[in-house]
Amino acid sequence: MSDWKPNLYLVFEKERTQPAIDLVMKIEHENPARILDIGCGPGNSTNVLQVRWPHAEIIGLDNSQAMIEQAHATYPNMNWVHADAAGDLSALGKFDIVFSNAAIQWIPNQEKLLANLFNFLQPGGVLAVQVPNPGKMPIHVELKKLSASEEWKDHFAALSSTYSLHTEHAYYDMLCGLTGCIDLWVTNYCHVMDNHAQIVKWYSGAGLRPYLDCLTDENTRNAFLQDYEHGLRRSHPAQKDGKILFPFTRIFFVAKNNK
């Protein structure tokens, strides 16, 4: 899959950062010495951690070179590591908080990943994670329907992605063998958009990436995005003032190493 485009991702920086703020506020750890941010992206979530715990050693880790470069450019005084979270990270040592905002859905075998991340925790440490849950959201339903249509399905025969979706029940089952101290919740954010094209731009910076990689011709890609926007017009009707409500569901969980 092609590398991330930080500038496109950050078009909706405020909306993408709010879940990180909400997750940080649920972490009960007064004085963490070391914090690891898995899938730090352009550093917006890592900065939320820095603001909350300014005296902690915080490491932002991402497998995207473009994202790490953007993070370093924006926050040059913070610690950034270019690495794959699914690989061997043992050299990084132990942490009081392992954090991840909207990242692990791109990493294969999340059950193994969460067990590995939990093992990085010091006694009393906290694993705090947020993942999008678009399975039943119109943006995902319309995408799956369009990509499977007669007109478009042949374009995605070589679709390749590590993206995977799980329910809150599945995440609980992944965690309950690690600890009995689990806090898990689901939040439905309603983002106010000026038009349907903004929703397409939002998803082009994340969930649409594997699909757009299959469309190497610019005209074909634009035609697909136009068809996708047309579907979103049906599923996201305009409000009284012409604005569009864009609901986005996210799963949160905080698991404590109570050993």
> What pLDDT is recorded for position 4?
54
pLDDT digits (tens, 9 = 90+) for 114-136: 999 999 999 999 999 999 998 88
The confidence score (pLDDT) of residue 15 equals 86
Q: Give the model's pLDDT for residue 13.
A: 80
Query: How does pLDDT run across 211-252, given as a tens digit for each residue?
Result: 999 999 999 999 999 999 999 999 999 999 999 999 999 999
pLDDT tens digits along 135-194: 889 999 999 999 999 999 999 998 877 788 899 999 999 999 999 999 999 999 999 999
State the SS3 of the chain.
CCCCCHHHHHHHHHHHHHHHHHHHCCCCCCCCCEEEEECCCCCHHHHHHHHHCCCCEEEEEECCHHHHHHHHHHCCCCEEEECCCCCCCHHHCCEEEEEEECCHHHCCCHHHHHHHHHCCEEEEEEEEEEEECCCCCHHHHHHHHHHCCCCCHHHHCCCCCCCCCCCHHHHHHHHHCCCCCEEEEEEEEEEEECCHHHHHHHHHCCCCHHHHHCCCCHHHHHHHHHHHHHHHHHHCCECCCCCEEEEEEEEEEEEECCC
In the prediction, which pLDDT does 127 show? 98
Whether 11 has a pLDDT exceeding 70, the answer reads no
Is the confidence at residue 14, as pLDDT, over 90? no
Q: In the chain, what are the domain boundaries?
A: 6-256
Say which CATH class 6-256 falls into: alpha beta
* pLDDT (0 to 100) of residue 161: 78
Is residue 257 scored above 60 in pLDDT? yes
203 pLDDT above the threshold of 70: yes
Q: What are the pLDDT digits (tens) for 50-78?
A: 999 999 999 999 999 999 999 999 999 99
